[in-house]
Structure 1
Amino acid sequence: MDWNTKQTTELIDALLALKDRGQARRFLRDLMTEKELVELGSRWAAARMLAKKVPYTEITKQTGLSSRTVARISQWLNKGMGGYRALINASDHTHINPLPGSGLR
């Protein structure tokens, strides 16, 4: 599947145009269902925890993701296009926790 299309480029441009967290929250909620947003949030949390070497069992417990999904995220984190790593590094500098209440940073 070719995901690098005019439509996805326009979506990326729209994301880059967001001015603040509130605007991003509203845009993403209009774009996706609550379930889709929760799934994306869980995947992001899993990527951050994987980068901190948290065991798969703990990640699945905290996020509710399947071990297969966590394994795919790990593969993309380690052998993907570098997007996860770039944002993990950037977010580490802004002190964003991977999962509320997890105590992980």
Structure 2
Amino acid sequence: MNWTSTENDRLIQAIFAIKTPDEARRFLRDLMTEKEITEFANRLQTAELLSENVSYSAIGLKTGLSSTTVARVSKWLNGKAGGYRTIIDRLHHHNPIQIRRGLS
């Protein structure tokens, strides 16, 4: 995929322009289906759980994601781009108790 396309740059600019959680909710709801939003939320949760060394099977049970998707998230979490790692670190910095709840 060409990450430097005009369309992708515009989407990144739009995301960067979001100022509040409410704006983010409204934008995501307009941009994606509810199922897509849930899928992406589950992938982020999976990355958080993987960073806490939770097993693939436990993550699959909690999120409903397939082992293939969990493995793909793990690959991206530990890959060069570092997107998941950056966001997880920032979320943990802003709200460490909520992130560390794991499977509870």
Q: Same fold (TM over 0.5)?
A: yes
Q: How many residues align?
A: 102
Partners of 2:4 and 2:48 lie apart in 1 by: 25
Question: What is the DSSP-based 3-state SS (H/G/I as helix, E as strand, rest coil) of the residue aligned with 1:79?
Answer: coil
Partners of 1:25 and 1:58 lie apart in 2 by: 28
TM-score (norm 1): 0.90
- The Cα of 1:4 is off from its aligned counterpart by 3.0
- The Cα of 1:103 is off from its aligned counterpart by 3.3
CA-based RMSD of the aligned residues comes to: 1.8
- The Cα of 1:95 is off from its aligned counterpart by 1.5
Partners of 2:44 and 2:90 lie apart in 1 by: 13
Sequence identity percentage: 45
Partners of 2:92 and 2:37 lie apart in 1 by: 21
- Give structure 1 regions of 4+ aligned residues with deviation exceeding 6 angstroms: none
Structure 1: any 5+ residue segments left out of the alignment? none
Is 1:58 aligned with 2:58? yes
Question: What is the DSSP-based 3-state SS (H/G/I as helix, E as strand, rest coil) of the residue aligned with 1:72?
Answer: helix
Is 1:104 aligned with 2:102? yes
